[in-house]
Amino acid sequence: MHSESNPLGEFDLIQRFFKAGADAMHSNNDKGIALGIGDDCALLWPVAGEEIAITSDMLVEGRHFLPNANPELLGRKALAVNLSDLAAMGARPIGFTLAIALPKIDTVWLDAFARGLFAVANQYSCPLIGGDTTAGPLTISITALGNIPSGKAIRRSGAQVGDDIWVSGCVGDARLTLAALRYEIKLPEEDFKQIESRMHTPTPRIELGIKLRGVANAALDISDGLLGDLQHILKQSQVSAEVFLEQLPKSATLQKQSESIQNQFAATGGDDYEICFTAPLDKRSVIDQISKELNLPLTRIGSTTEKVDEAKRLRLLNKNGDLLDNAKTVELLKSFDHFAK
């Protein structure tokens, strides 16, 4: 242990908390990493016929997490949200870089952070290949890289008129957890335990993304809320959509809440990191098969339609197929930024 009178230098810190964990993974990697941590750059072998997907996500203390946030969960989440972006395009992880600003060298904090980070890195075979470490207000910035066969990336712009709209897993639990933490809703302890990991440790749907190559026309991961994020697909694909509000997939825990809470959290709650995608009707049986193979519910929630004017881009229907009146839709979505034009 380093005592306070003998503080860790920057290089010792990188070695102890980051390079050691990365080395433990490198032994049997077939990811095309020619050189990892230790030089001025990492080196990758380009793979013939593959494109490289690159994504960055930053977590800033006070903005994305509270000052007392659990460092292990933070390590997990910081990498998981980046892997979720790779998943949304159908990429397979290659590796990631970590740029981190630390207000002080707290070895207990760093140990826990690295434990969480490498748990996810190992789970998804995604080694740490470089980064930067500096003093400053706590900020964690990860850049993840992945491979996709050329032309197979699932873009937001690919949805076609008449596609089914699908969602993986269930939505709204991360928002319900937040509501409980903020005392907006009183949740029995056992209910809270059922769902809290959905907010702290989202599951990047890497295998789903890979299986959706050539199946889905468009996809994205849900970070800000299902209906708001879906609008990115609609906008970029120049289509409109009808969504059955009652068909949004909800956990048993969320289903114990009032109907309006259920609908609002499922429709607009952020931080679920599920995948929303569109696919032609003739892919329904393939998609049901994928759902079985992955043991992951995939639910049809609506369909895309011919482009109509912007205000009606997204129409919400009740279970009888009747259009929800505008006031109700506005009420449902009023907490939601992306709708505030």
Q: Which residues bind ligand ADP (CB under 6 A)?
A: 14, 18, 37-40, 98, 100, 128, 130-133
Place of tokens 């009146």: 325
**CA–CA dist 230, 270 (Å, integer):** 12
Interacting partner of 100 out of Mg ion, ligand ADP, none (Cβ under 5 to 8 A depending on kind) = ligand ADP
Pairing of strands 92-102, 128-135: parallel
- Return all residues near 228 (Cβ < 8 A) that are at least 6 apart: 268, 336, 337, 338, 339
Nearer of residues 98 and 298 to Mg ion, judged by Cβ: 98
Nearest distance in Å: CB 60, ligand ADP: 16
Interacting partner of 149 out of ligand ADP, Mg ion, none (Cβ under 5 to 8 A depending on kind) = none
Amino acid at 130: G
Nearest distance in Å: CB 119, ligand ADP: 16
Q: For residue 309, state whether it binds Mg ion (rule: CB under 5 A).
A: no
Helix (H) / strand (E) containing 197: helix 189-200
Nearer of residues 18 and 65 to ligand ADP, judged by Cβ: 18
Nearest distance in Å: CB 314, ligand ADP: 41
Nearer of residues 30 and 40 to Mg ion, judged by Cβ: 40
**CA–CA dist 231, 166 (Å, integer):** 14
Nearest distance in Å: CB 35, ligand ADP: 9
Nearest distance in Å: CB 177, ligand ADP: 29
**CA–CA dist 95, 155 (Å, integer):** 21
Place of tokens 């609609």: 234
Residue 249 — φ and ψ, nearest 5°? -70, 125
Nearer of residues 131 and 169 to ligand ADP, judged by Cβ: 131
List 3, 4, 27, 40, residue binding Mg ion (CB under 5 A): 40
Nearer of residues 100 and 179 to ligand ADP, judged by Cβ: 100
**CA–CA dist 171, 265 (Å, integer):** 8
Contacts with Mg ion, residue ranges (CB under 5 A): 40
